[in-house]
Structure 1
Amino acid sequence: MENNNNLDLSSISRELNLLLKITVMENHGRDKSFDSEMFNDIDWGLFLQLARHHRIYPLIYSKLKRINKKYVPHHVIESLYQEYKKNTFQMLQLSGEMEQISKLFNESDIRLLFLKGPVIAHDLYGDISLRTSKDLDIIIPMTDLEKAEEILITNGYEKENQPNFLNEWKWRNHHIAFFHKHNKIQIEVHWRLEPFPSKEPSFNELWERKRTSTITRSPTYFLGKEDLFFYLVSHGARHGWFRLRWLLDIDLMLKKGLNLDKTEKLFKKYKRQHLGGQALILASQLLKTPINKRMKFLTAGNRSKVLSEWSIFFIEEMNQFNYPKEYTVLLKSKTQIFLTKMKAFYPDSRDVETIKLPKSLHFLYFILRPFLLVWRKRRKNAK
């Protein structure tokens, strides 16, 4: 990575810095490259908090086992071990449910691709216990949403409440969650990779480039390499890269290799070069990821670096909710910014709660929308 993309990492805490160094340890033999001074004056409570927040505690535990035990307090190793065991059980449970859901959808002729979860844990880490997943994320054609909902509800899942005025949820959102009360598993059913108005490959294109996972006995499909990289980059950027787990995924994908011609075509077609550049800069600076020179087209210009600087702040502060307007504007193209603003003028369920009109007059909500927005804002400010 070129020097002009170097980030200022001087404000990173000793605990986060130690976490990063452990993360990039080689996976073979015992690592003797550690300076014992790195373990001095460590707030181990904060260290554990960071490992949990960044969802990398299984990997950290697997690597700490090879470090001299005198450097790390026993209670830290034990705490990580308990988290590791719990995650292993959860990933096995998700793997079983993943195979079951895949069977049910295949039997109903619903094409299904898994976006994350055990399939990419196995694909990238070679071991599902080394990556965390709290739920299963799938993507299906939008035309199959009702059929998918029926299957999930029949099999014990409950659908999250969604506003359904003028079908607003289908285009305001890009997924809907279903939760099983007994096995405590959540499934997010996507019909888009990212929220509208982002441009992205169609489901048919994703399906044509799909791969088959080998962790289940029956066929289970997931994204092709370049599509997965594209999705993980877009997802990480949208969330400010506030979890290191997402960067570790990028690190492993780059090390395993991508078809660079296909990658370049994909990012240029959907105008995500600045997001790809952000991912490369962060991975190379924080995880020492080697970057192929052929991928420098992603880091051209200053936009990627500015986005990366914001992400360093999010990572340090464990910020996962309040993204400044400056960051969100940098993420989007001018067309996306315009369409996002236009979305504000489309009626939603809050308008119905504010003033109820008979169904035959629902078209009036488009006219009333600006006035209702102003009225609600003034009412909120008056409280």
Structure 2
Amino acid sequence: MSSPNALDKRSFSKEFNMLLLLLQSDRTVTFEEAWEQSQQIDWNEFLFYVGYHHVNPVVYPLLKRLNDERQFVPPAIMQKMSHRFMKNTYEMLHLRGEMERVVQLLEGKGIRSLMLKGPTLAALLYGDISGRTSKDLDILVSKADMKLTEKLLMEEGYRLSEDTPLLLNNTERKTHHLSYFHYEKGIEIELHWRLNPDTVKEPDFEALWARRQVSTLHPSVHSLGNEDLFLYLVLHGTRHGWSCLRWLLDIDRIVAKPLERDTIQQLLQTYRGRDLIGLAFVLAQGLLGTKLPDALASLSASNKGEKLAPYVLIFMRERAILHPKPEKRDIAIYYNRYMLATMPFSQKGLYLLNKIYPSSWDAEVLPLPKALHFLYFPLRPFLWIWRQVKRQSI
């Protein structure tokens, strides 16, 4: 494993650089460029990168246009990409139908909801729900409406998707949403009461609702206003190490939308995320050729962003799995360093405190009756060591 180095695309494989070429947003890729970059690449490896980064809905139409001009992609690869494109279109239509049904169900009970990603984000940023992938529906409701929303979802056949014990009422401390799965429909809903983990300051639901926008998909469906959505996408991508290019594509698309610089500046006083915007812009410009509007150019300068970017290159190059936790020990070390470096001092304390607080991972190692859950506090260091030993033995 190499140490973080400069933001340099030459450190990537030919297959990944081929993918980056196709995703350039500042110009139209020519056949000659694509053909030259495609020489001696492993097309199955390229297809793996496309899947890992969840960008088939964007790459397939581009590659089809170039390949129609003169065939240079193996037919079997194009067939697989075409199949994935059609499959994603069907799945997004399926999600859209359920989204509209659930939103109207909540609306009928007086519950306001905001869609965070899914079909609404695809339609807003890519012009069509088939232009982006999504594995679930992310719905934000006010904390006061959480219990009733959970009850309604359960009545509709949704069940908590992870059968893990909740220790010492740690749900709000450890996460910012709960996942529900409908086994007959094959649909997962992430029910949020916050946008981000509880170590991040953010506007309350009322402020977000006041700046909402109506989705073009349905008059009952609302999503975050552009400025809130922009910062949410920045924070979400940061938390996941920007290891998936789909999240950078979202940034590339949203900066082309009308964004009020003054509103973003005001929100940054709450989020304290100027350096994180700088990181997102360093990556989007360096990897995708994203052009920033003048209104956002002053937000792009960040020494910390430039220092953090090489960590992201490691995550991408190693095709790292970072959530729910890194699979490899060396990646976990880099990820923890990266996460701490993204946080202001006050947030680091809360982050480390939450690391000390018992979690469901401890209960998996040593199940205890509820009356003895308090023992997880003194036992946590030993349980953590045991989990590391087991990870190394796999």
TM-score (norm 2): 0.87
CA contact (8 A) 2:278 2:305 kept: yes
Higher deviation after alignment, 93-102 or 304-313: 304-313
Give the secondary-structure state (helix, strand or coil) at the position aligned to 1:179.
strand
Deviations 1:119-176 (A, max 9, x none): 0100111111111001100111112111111111111111233433332112311111
AA partner of residue 9 (structure 1):
K
Task: Classify 1:17/1:257 alpha carbon distance in 2 versus 1 (closer, same or farther; 3 Å).
Answer: farther
Q: Where does residue 329 of structure 2 map in the other structure?
A: none
Q: Where does residue 64 of structure 2 map in the other structure?
A: 65
Give the secondary-structure state (helix, strand or coil) at the position aligned to 1:187.
strand
Q: Where does residue 330 of structure 1 map in the other structure?
A: 341
Distance (whole Å) between structure 1 residues aligned to residue 247 and residue 26 of structure 2: 19
Distance (whole Å) between structure 2 residues aligned to residue 293 and residue 137 of structure 1: 32
Distance (whole Å) between structure 1 residues aligned to residue 180 and residue 358 of structure 2: 25
CA contact (8 A) 2:179 2:191 kept: yes
CA contact (8 A) 2:47 2:77 kept: yes
Higher deviation after alignment, 283-292 or 113-122: 283-292
Match of 1:179 among 171, 178, 181: 181
Q: Where does residue 245 of structure 2 map in the other structure?
A: 244
Determine if the alignment matches structure 1 residue 145 to structure 2 residue 152: no
Give the secondary-structure state (helix, strand or coil) at the position aligned to 1:58.
helix
Task: Classify 1:184/1:357 alpha carbon distance in 2 versus 1 (closer, same or farther; 3 Å).
Answer: closer
Give the secondary-structure state (helix, strand or coil) at the position aligned to 2:180.
strand
Task: Classify 1:26/1:66 alpha carbon distance in 2 versus 1 (closer, same or farther; 3 Å).
Answer: farther
Match of 2:195 among 193, 196, 200: 193
Determine if the alignment matches structure 1 residue 12 to structure 2 residue 12: yes
Distance (whole Å) between structure 2 residues aligned to residue 224 and residue 155 of structure 1: 29
CA contact (8 A) 1:25 1:63 kept: no
CA contact (8 A) 1:177 1:188 kept: yes
AA partner of residue 10 (structure 1):
R
Distance (whole Å) between structure 2 residues aligned to residue 136 and residue 49 of structure 1: 25
Higher deviation after alignment, 349-358 or 281-290: 349-358
Higher deviation after alignment, 335-344 or 9-18: 335-344
CA apart distance, 1:258: 1.4
Residues 109-148 of structure 1 correspond to what in structure 2 (within 5 A)? 109-148=110-149
AA partner of residue 256 (structure 1):
K
AA partner of residue 178 (structure 1):
Y
Give the secondary-structure state (helix, strand or coil) at the position aligned to 1:313.
helix
CA contact (8 A) 1:176 1:190 kept: yes
Give the secondary-structure state (helix, strand or coil) at the position aligned to 1:318.
coil
RMSD over aligned CA atoms reads 2.5
CA apart distance, 1:320: 2.4
CA apart distance, 1:298: 3.3
Match of 2:351 among 340, 344, 348: 340
CA contact (8 A) 1:225 1:258 kept: yes
Determine if the alignment matches structure 1 residue 205 to structure 2 residue 207: yes
Distance (whole Å) between structure 2 residues aligned to residue 35 and residue 8 of structure 1: 20
Among all aligned residue pairs of Structure 1 and Structure 2, give the percentage whose two residues are the same amino acid: 37
Distance (whole Å) between structure 1 residues aligned to residue 385 and residue 8 of structure 2: 42
How many residues of Structure 1 are paired with residues of Structure 2 in the alignment? 371
Distance (whole Å) between structure 1 residues aligned to residue 279 and residue 265 of structure 2: 15
Residues 1-383 of structure 1 correspond to what in structure 2 (within 5 A)? 7-24=7-24, 31-32=30-31, 34=33, 36-67=35-66, 68-160=69-161, 161-216=163-218, 218-321=219-322, 322=326, 323=332, 324=334, 325-346=336-357, 350=362, 358=371, 365=374, 370-377=377-384
CA apart distance, 1:27: 9.4
Deviations 1:13-70 (A, max 9, x none): 1111111111226898x94562532121011001100011110111111111210342
Distance (whole Å) between structure 2 residues aligned to residue 144 and residue 72 of structure 1: 51
CA contact (8 A) 2:256 2:293 kept: no
Distance (whole Å) between structure 2 residues aligned to residue 17 and residue 382 of structure 1: 37
CA apart distance, 1:7: 2.2
CA contact (8 A) 2:26 2:291 kept: no
AA partner of residue 49 (structure 2):
L
CA contact (8 A) 1:351 1:372 kept: no
Task: Classify 1:12/1:227 alpha carbon distance in 2 versus 1 (closer, same or farther; 3 Å).
Answer: same
For structure 2, which runs of at least 5 residues remain unmatched after alignment?
327-331
Give the secondary-structure state (helix, strand or coil) at the position aligned to 2:65.
coil
Task: Classify 1:96/1:374 alpha carbon distance in 2 versus 1 (closer, same or farther; 3 Å).
Answer: closer
AA partner of residue 200 (structure 1):
E
AA partner of residue 181 (structure 2):
F
Distance (whole Å) between structure 2 residues aligned to residue 114 and residue 159 of structure 1: 19
Task: Classify 1:306/1:87 alpha carbon distance in 2 versus 1 (closer, same or farther; 3 Å).
Answer: same
Distance (whole Å) between structure 2 residues aligned to residue 128 and residue 247 of structure 1: 18
